[in-house]
Amino acid sequence: MSESCYTSEVYALYVIGSLDGEELSDFSRHIGQGCDVCRTELAQARELWTSFATATPPMTPPAAVKERILAAARHSSVLTMPTRRPGMAWWQQAAAAIVVLGLGVGIGWELHRPALPVQPVAETVPRTPPVAPGDQRLQQENRDLRAQIAELDKTLASQQAQLREGSARSIEIASLQAALARAQSESSANAQATQQAQARTAQLETQARQLQAGAATAEARANEAEKRYQSAENDRKLAADREARQRETAAARIRQLEAENEKFRRVIDDQQRRIQQNSQLVAFFSTPNLQFYRYKGTMYGPGATAHVVMQAGSKAMFYAFHLPPLPAGRTYQLWLIRGRNPQIVSGGIFHGDKEGNAVVQYSDANMLKDVRQFAVTDEPDGGSKGPTGKQFFRAST
C-alpha cells in the first residue's frame, strides 16, 4: 500500500468543513486528479465523522418543544461552526467540531423527552417587574426548564467527553490501520527485495565459481609458464656461463698471442736494428782511413769492453759490451776528449740493453775534429755539462 499524500488532520478538517484557502484548493485539485490513496483516506475520514453526527436517530420534535428550546436558546450564547484560522491547530478545530456535534446530540436527546405544555416565554428586560400571583405557574415552569437545561448541559458534557474519547480511538485505529498497511506494503517490498537479493546472490555465487575455475586454470597456466621460464632461464644461464668462459678463454688466448706478437716484434726490431747496424758497419768499414780504439772496464765495470771506430774525423761509432746496470735515476754519458778547446765535450747519453750492450753513432765532423780519446761515466738522468760520476772504461794497449 502506498503512503498517503496528506496527514490525517487534513482529511478531518475537509470533512467537517474547516479546510479553507490555498489548502482547500490544493486538496480539492489533488482529489480531482484521481489519487486512489487520498480518496480512500477521505472516505474513511468522512465515514468516521459522519458516525458522530448520526449517533442519535433523527426525528421531528413537537412544535411546543421546539418553541421552548428556541426561547431558552435566546438567553444563551449562539453556537457557530468554527472555521480554520491561521495558527489554530487541527486538533483544536476538530474539538470545536466535536462540541457542535455533541450539542446536536444533546438536542436530539432532549427531543426524546415528553413534550411539556407550551407556555409563552417572557422576553428578558434589563429590570424584571414584580411578578403577579397569576404568573407563578409560568415562573415555576421557567425554573423547571432551566433545571432541565442544566441537566442537559451535564449530559452534553458527558457525551462530549465520550465523543472525544471515541474520536481519539478512531483516529488511533485509523493511524494503526494505515501503519499496518504501510508495514504490509514494506514487508511485501522487503520480501521482493529479498528474493531479488537471493537471486542476485545466486548469480554472484555462480560468477564467483566461474571466476575461481578461471583463476585455477590461470594459476595452472602461470605455474606451467613459470616452469618453462625457469627452464629457459637455466638454459640462458648455462649459455651465458659458456659464453663467458669462451670469452675469457678467447681473451686469454688473445693476450697470449699479443704477448707472443710483442715478443716477436721486439725480436724482429732487434734483428732489424742489428741488420741495420751491420749494414752500417759494413759500409763504415768499407771506407779507407779508419781509426780503431779499444777500451776495457775499470773497477766499476770489470767485465765491460768497448770499441770505437772513427772515419777520418768525420764519423765515429761507439760499441759497448757487458755494461753493468745502473740504479734508478742514473744514465751513461759518453765524453769526447779533444786536443783543442773545449777539450771535453759530451757525446750524448745512452742506456744498455738487457745484456749491457749499446751502440752510439756520431756524424758531426766539427765535434769529432782532433779527438784523442773517449770516456764513459754515470751521470744523473738527462746528463751533465761535465763528467761527475764514476768512470767505467780506460784505454787498452
364 is a domain residue: yes
DSSP annotation string for 293-333: EEEEE-TTSTT-EEEEEEETTTEEEEEEESPPPPPTTEEEE
258 is a domain residue: no
Read off the pLDDT band of 86 (50, 70, 90): very low
The pLDDT tens digits of the residues spanning 346-389 come to: 989 999 898 999 999 888 888 888 888 999 999 999 999 999 99
Cβ atoms of 109 and 56 closer than 8 Å: yes
The pLDDT tens digits of the residues spanning 286-339 come to: 666 788 889 999 999 999 999 998 886 678 889 999 999 999 999 999 999 998
Residue whose C-alpha is closest to residue 277's, from 249, 236, 240, 318 = 318
Q: Quick one: average pLDDT of 192-196?
A: 87
Residue whose C-alpha is closest to residue 49's, from 106, 101, 105, 5 = 101
Among the candidates 199, 222, 246, a domain finishes at: 199
Whether residue 188 is found in the same domain as residue 64: yes
Whether residue 168 is found in the same domain as residue 35: yes
The domain that holds 370 is classified in CATH as 2.60.40
What is the distance between the alpha carbons of residues 56 and 106, in angstroms, rounded to a whole number? 9
Is the pLDDT assigned to residue 44 strictly greater than 80?
yes
Query: Percent of the chain at pLDDT above 70?
Result: 76
Cβ atoms of 119 and 38 closer than 8 Å: no
Among the candidates 199, 218, 236, a domain finishes at: 199
Whether residue 175 is found in the same domain as residue 46: yes
CB atoms within 10 A of CB 346: 17
Whether residue 190 is found in the same domain as residue 47: yes
Residues with Cβ within 8 Å of residue 69, at least 6 apart in sequence:
61, 107, 110
Cite the DSSP H helix spans in the chain: 8-16, 21-32, 36-53, 63-73, 90-111, 136-285, 365-368
Whether residue 186 is found in the same domain as residue 58: yes
Whether residue 182 is found in the same domain as residue 75: yes
Task: Please count the structural domains in the chain.
Answer: 2
What is the distance between the alpha carbons of residues 50 and 52, in angstroms, rounded to a whole number? 5
381 is a domain residue: yes
Is the pLDDT assigned to residue 270 strictly greater than 90?
no
Q: Of 126 and 42, which is predicted with more confidence?
A: 42
Read off the pLDDT band of 115 (50, 70, 90): very low
Is the pLDDT assigned to residue 119 strictly greater than 70?
no
What is the distance between the alpha carbons of residues 74 and 76, in angstroms, rounded to a whole number? 6
Q: Quick one: average pLDDT of 154-159?
A: 78
Q: Residue 178 sits in which domain range?
A: 8-120+133-199
Whether residue 25 is found in the same domain as residue 165: yes
Q: Report how far Cα 50 is from the mean position of its chain's Cα atoms.
A: 67
Among the candidates 176, 199, 222, a domain finishes at: 199
pLDDT in the model for residue 286: 66
pLDDT in the model for residue 383: 94
The pLDDT tens digits of the residues spanning 376-387 come to: 999 999 999 999
What is the distance between the alpha carbons of residues 317 and 309, in angstroms, rounded to a whole number? 5
Q: Quick one: average pLDDT of 26-35?
A: 90
**Which segment of 127-131, 201-205, 314-318, 361-365 scores lowest on mean pLDDT?**
127-131
The pLDDT tens digits of the residues spanning 66-78 come to: 677 667 666 654 4
Q: What is the rounded radius of gyration, in angstroms, for the C-alpha atoms of the chain?
A: 75
- Residue 221 is placed in which grid cell? 597456466
Indicate the average pLDDT of the chain.
Answer: 79
What is the distance between the alpha carbons of residues 359 and 353, in angstroms, rounded to a whole number? 10
Q: Quick one: average pLDDT of 258-279?
A: 84
What is the distance between the alpha carbons of residues 360 and 348, in angstroms, rounded to a whole number? 8
247 is a domain residue: no
105 is a domain residue: yes
